[in-house]
Structure 1
Amino acid sequence: MALPLINIGIVLLLGTVFIGVGWYFSRRSGGTDDFILGGGQLGIALGMTSLLAFWITGNTMLAAPESAYTYGILGALGYGMLGGAGVLLFALLSKRLHKVIPHGKSVGDFYGTRYDEKNYYVFVSLLVIYVLGLIVTQGIGGGVLLEQIFDIPYYLAVFLTFGIVIVYAYLGGFRSVTGVAYFQVLLILVVALVVPPLVYFNVGFGPVYERILADSPAKLSLTAPSGLLFATAGALLGIGEVFMDNTFWQRAYAIRSDVVAKTFGLSGIGWILVPLAIASLSFVALAFDQTPEQVNQVAPMIAQIYGGAFSGWLFLIAVWSALCSTTAASINALATLLMNDAVPRVKDDVSEDELLRYGKYFTLLVGVLGLLFSLPRILTMLQMLFFLGVINVAFVFPIVAGLWWEKANPQVVFVATTTATIVGYAAYFTIGANQGIILSGWISCVITYGGSYLWPKDFDWGKLQRVGQDVTAGGDGT
């Protein structure tokens, strides 16, 4: 099969624009603080675009329609809660962060100081697995999308996507990623506002509703047990993703403290509307018996069939922009976590220039690992998301308890997170994905709060206050 050179050229052209914008913003990136947080003075506008560009992922654009196609209207609503609930609740958490640990830079700063070394290493190890998994979902999404709409072979599509992202994430770290995100989120929002109405203008709302009501009425039910289970597990999963993901902690510190809660709140509301709009394309597929080769291809397929070539191209641009923005933000978040947390723990007296070099090395390492793990299509995007959810929800309650309750016991938290993860995966593989996530969350909650109530451990909040100012802070948490 001949390579579609024109289509490859279009992707490279758009990627060149991303790299150019990233290079422009990288010129203002001076040291490690800029590479990690971009200076820490983002306002509402740039803060929202940075959050939306990261959190409107390839999952949002491809797995949200997959959820609606699989679970019907509860799938669409459940996916909206999956991401929106976590960001809305993080608005409260972000305000608390600025008060409790005002000079922190990463989730590792908090977790390693609030608890202890064994908790820190368990947390970071599972966080690395989660972030790499999230990056892989974006790589798979990029490959599937360019293969579906642009006829670019899957492996080449993955290499193109990661190659472009790694370059501009390497150039300026957080500054480059945030600068490009402003451009990317505009593309994403335009498409979310244009493509679904264009498709429904061509097919009509009435025919879609009537055909689903006649042929698949269960898809319109608000009481379907499988849909309710998905919505419940999805909300827990989304909260866990947001609370655990260093990308959100980065942005909490990068946004000014006086507007951080408002920025997260508005971003959560704005985010919910995007998956709901895109997921509505799945109802057209259900109504007219359009079956995709892979279920996570349903949205681009419908955009192309019923919206025409223009709609298909717009959808491609939006989803690929979302994939790139999330991949870049995740690579930067994991690289800077390792740069800020891991390097000082294993190497004394690291200079700022040396630390910055480590940040760039980690950017290349994480990007290349994400590329390699994306090549085999092991799971769909939604399946990967729920597989990782067992990890995410195990840490929600320890994080909340650690921020607001001085009695949270590190020994109890260690038992809670390890037990929840092990039992959650046992249930995931023997009962079901949704049940595994819910069980992981409840076990973590009961052990964390019940155990700490029975065996309380006082914590000195001054340890968190000294993080970022005292070189000895951030280790024992005992």
Structure 2
Amino acid sequence: MNKEKYHIYIAGTVKLGVGYGIVSLLARWVTGNTILSSPESLMKYGLSGVIVYSLMGAFALIFFGFLAQKICAKYRDHQTIGDVLQSKLSPTGFWIMMALLFITSLYSIFIQALGAGILLHLLFPFPISIGLLIFLFICFLFSGVGGMQWLHRLSGVTITLVFGAVIVIPVYFFIQEGVYPVYDGVKLYHPYLLYFKNYDAIWFFLAAIIIGIGQALFDCATWQRLFIIQKEKIRITFTLTGFLWATIPLSISTLIFIAIFGRGFKNIYTILLELVNKIQSNLLIVLFILFCFCVILSALSSGLHSVTVLMVRNMIGYFHEQTENEKWKWTYVFSGSICLILLIVVSILPPKPIELLFFFGNIYASVIIPMLYIILSKKILPAIIPFAALVGTIAGLLFMPSAGSFQTIWISFFVPLCICLIHFISTLLFHKKKPSS
């Protein structure tokens, strides 16, 4: 890559149309969380939980698509979410939002690395550290060295494997075994999975929608792709991406039914190993393993690339203007350091499951109203708006011991809403009184 053109590393060389825009967005949003949270929602809430989980991502992408055209019209010369925050916030407010953004971005990367570690532990006999070293080195090549151009190439391969796995494997298995034996086996051993009248799923739906919207509004990689999609095709691209994404958790749930029909299971992570044992075709086993690792590789590389750009362009670049060589130096150092830390942490941690559905959901819920305020406002905003997101996050965490996951999500959402509403009303009243004084 030409070292004199760091902006190519950030955004690539071409504007994306609808087709490749969908591929790029899907490669970002089909992650290790999708593979692992789909069975988690299925086991907790049955079929209604999987449907809710599918609607969460679809609604979030479609909602963000309606804002996307306005964002591109107002911030046409920007390349990252950090650029927008820097142009609309005071220094204090900017750093509050950047801190929250940095935390959630690192969390997302860590979850992908942890998912890779769990898969390596389940599928291969060698130590996790060896496989993880190779995996993270490949991530470093794509994100730290290759940039957006290499990520586009990886996206095409990833989405091909995704739809190949979720379509070919179920069709092959149902041809071999039949649909009714799978249904009867699930009904006999796991009848609760087929139960639709689960009222907890309603609360799950409401909380999941909040988390999904917050994640879309606060995802660095999604914002980077927003700025490289052709302006007139942004809304249709996000809308179609939402509809296509919704089919993937449903398809993964079909794979789960194949793995567990006629038998029990230890936990949601061993289901993946059961599925490999059920698939008798070596070609399909390879397809499934490649599907899992390419999804995590693409998501981790995209996240690592976006957080590296955020660090170099918006955090280090905030204090002084950098030369092209300095930008590349910090890019290699920062992305390599994150990969090294992930290797150490994931290798030390025991490969055990964690709950993913509401982990860090309070931050995503708390940033929705402040981010909407930032996107839609026309003026430089005071620190009270980003501070509202911080207060909402803290309020949700404080109530977590006494309230459930759903309640804390709503607390984290409504606290910033009240603060921003008070600020908006007081601003209107102040401007009305000022001319008469």
Report the TM-score when normalising by structure 2.
Answer: 0.90
Deviates more, 1:190-199 or 1:368-377: 368-377
Q: Quick one: distance in 2 between partners of 1:360 and 1:206? A: 54
CA deviations 1:3-26 (Å, max 9, x no partner) are xxxxxxxxxxxxxxxxxxxxxxxx
Aligned to 1:288, the other structure's residue is in SS state coil
Which secondary structure state, in structure 1, belongs to the residue aligned with residue 196 of structure 2? coil
Q: Check conservation: 1:407, 1:457, Cα contact below 8 A.
A: no
Q: Deviations over 1:261-302 (max 9, x none)?
A: 22222111111111110122233455423304x423423422
Q: Compared with structure 1, are the counterparts of its residues 448 and 397 closer, same or farther at alpha carbon in structure 2 (3 Å cutoff)? A: same
Counterpart of 1:170 (choices 113, 133, 144) is 144
Give the deviation of 1:92 after TM superposition.
1.3
Distance 1:68 1:163, change over 3 A: same
* Partner secondary structure for residue 417 of structure 1: helix
Question: Which whole-Å CA distance do the structure 2 matches of 1:255 and 1:433 have between them?
Answer: 36
Q: Is the 8 A contact 1:109 1:341 kept in 2?
A: yes
Determine if contact 2:129/2:343 at 8 Å carries over to the other structure: no
Q: State how far apart, in whole Å, the 1-side matches of 2:224 and 2:430 are.
A: 28
Percent sequence identity over matched residues?
23
**Structure 1 stretch displaced more, 111-120 or 373-382:** 373-382
Question: 2:292 and 2:429 mapped to 1: Cα distance?
Answer: 47
In structure 2, the CA distance between the partners of 1:203 and 1:129, relative to structure 1 (3 Å rule), is farther
Corresponding position: 1:263 with 2:237:
yes
Q: 1:373 to 1:232 in 2, by over 3 A?
A: farther
Are 1:343 and 2:322 an aligned pair?
no
Matches of 1:199 and 1:156 in 2, distance apart?
A: 33
Q: 1:202 to 1:71 in 2, by over 3 A?
A: farther
CA pair 185-171 structure 1, distance change in 2 beyond 3 A:
same
- Counterpart residue number, 1:332: 305
Larger deviation, residues 435-444 vs 313-322: 435-444
C-alpha distance after superposition, 1:51-91 (max 9, x if no partner): 11111111112321222123211221122123222211121
State the match for 1:152 in structure 2. Answer: 126
What is the CA distance between 1:439 and its match in structure 2? 2.4
Aligned length: 431
Question: Match for 1:123 among 88, 92, 97?
Answer: 97
Shift of 1:408: 9.2
| Residue 250 (structure 1) shift | 0.3
* Kept after mapping to 1: 8 A contact 2:116/2:293: yes
Q: TM-score, normalised by structure 1?
A: 0.83
**Pairing 1:187-206 to 2, within 5 Å after superposition:** 187-206=161-180
> What are structure 2's unaligned runs of at least 5 residues?
432-437
Residue aligning to 1:390: 362
Query: How far 1:373 moved relative to its partner?
Result: 3.4
Q: Which amino acid aligns with 2:315?
A: A
Provide the residue aligned with 1:46 in structure 2: 20
1:240 corresponds to which residue?
A: 214
Instruction: Name the SS of the counterpart of 2:76 in structure 1.
Output: coil
- Does the Cα contact within 8 Å between 2:42 and 2:50 map onto a contact in 1? yes
SS in 2 for 1:222: coil
Determine the structure 2 residue equivalent to 1:31: 5
Q: Report SS of the residue matched to 2:358.
A: helix
Q: Map residues 66-465 of structure 1 onto 2, 5 A cutoff.
A: 66-213=40-187, 216-292=190-266, 294-306=267-279, 308-347=281-320, 349-377=321-349, 383-406=355-378, 410-456=382-428
| Change beyond 3 A, Cα 1:202–1:290 | farther
Instruction: Tell me if the contact between 1:240 and 1:396 (Cα under 8 Å) persists in the aligned partners.
Output: yes
1:408–1:457 Cα contact (<8 Å) kept: no
Q: CA deviation at 1:150?
A: 2.9
Residues 301/62 of structure 1: CA separation in 2 closer, same or farther (3 Å cut): farther
SS at match of 2:232: coil
* More displaced 10-residue stretch of structure 1: 128-137 or 59-68: 59-68
What is the one-letter code of the residue matched to 1:304? N
User: Do the aligned partners of residues 309 and 430 (structure 1) sit closer, same or farther apart at CA in structure 2, a change above 3 Å counting?
Assistant: farther
Question: Is the contact between residue 409 and residue 456 of structure 1 (CA under 8 Å) also seen in structure 2?
Answer: no
Contact 1:140/1:381 (8 A) holds in 2: no
